[in-house]
Amino acid sequence: MKELTGETWRVGCHAETPITGRVVIIQSEADLHKVCDGDVIVANQTDVNYTPQMLIASAVVTVEGGRYSHAATFSRENKIPCLIGTTGIMNELKDGDVVVVNTRTKTITVQETRKEG
């Protein structure tokens, strides 16, 4: 198991227990159709167009943003567990990996890596 701590420094919303889910990498709006119920959205940042998908995700993880970013604000309003400012995460994870997002410790643990092919 690999643990990514990055430079996570803001939490949109605390989840009482760590969240386990399948990673979906969102490079742009064109990838949003890949998100299914319970997935963990991993994106550079989010914007208004991510709203429906954020509502069905189990957690949201972004590279950019801060206390008042779209991801942090919307997650807080809707009690979606969220980690902001996880530098390098887009290169560390890929679609289908299974991760544990812990908003208390501000860590993401890779539980299962998707096999290529």
Partner 1 sequence: MNRVQSLAKMCQSRHLSLEDRYSITAITDVSQMLPSGCIESAIKHYQGIIRSNLWYFPILEDVSVDVFLHRWNEVHESYLGVAEEIFSRLLKSQSTDSLVDADLLESVIRSETMRGWVGKRSPSGLDALLNNRAESLEELLQDHFDSEELDELLSVGGVCSDAIFASSETEMQRLFGQYRREHGDTNLTVESLKESSNTDVPVIILREFCRYSIEEFNKKLSAFSRTLDVGTKEESSREWLTSKLEKLSGDTFISATKLFKEIQVLNYLNLNLEVKYSFKGWAGLMHVVAFTACSNTTNIPSNVYEMHTKLKKRGEL
Contacting residues toward partner 1, per CB under 8 A = 10, 27-30, 32, 37, 47-49, 51-56, 67-68, 70, 72-74, 76-79
Residue 96: CB atoms within 10 A of its CB come to 15
Compare residues 2 and 14 and give the one whose CB is closer to partner 1: 14
Whether 70 is catalytic: yes
d(CA 10, CA 72): 8
- Residue partners of 36: CB distance under 8 A and separation at least 6: 22, 24, 56
Compute the least distance from the CB of residue 41 to partner 1, in Å: 13
Cβ count near 42 (within 10 Å)? 27
Options 22, 70, 76, 94, the catalytic residue: 70
Q: Which is nearer to partner 1, 17 or 51 (CB)?
A: 51
Among residues 100, 114, 6, the alpha carbon closest in space to that of 62 is found at 6
- What's the min distance (Å) between Cβ of 67 and partner 1? 5
**Distance of closest approach, residue 26 Cβ to partner 1, in angstroms:** 10
Residue 45 DSSP SS3? coil
Q: Which is nearer to partner 1, 54 or 115 (CB)?
A: 54
Residues acting as catalytic residues: 70
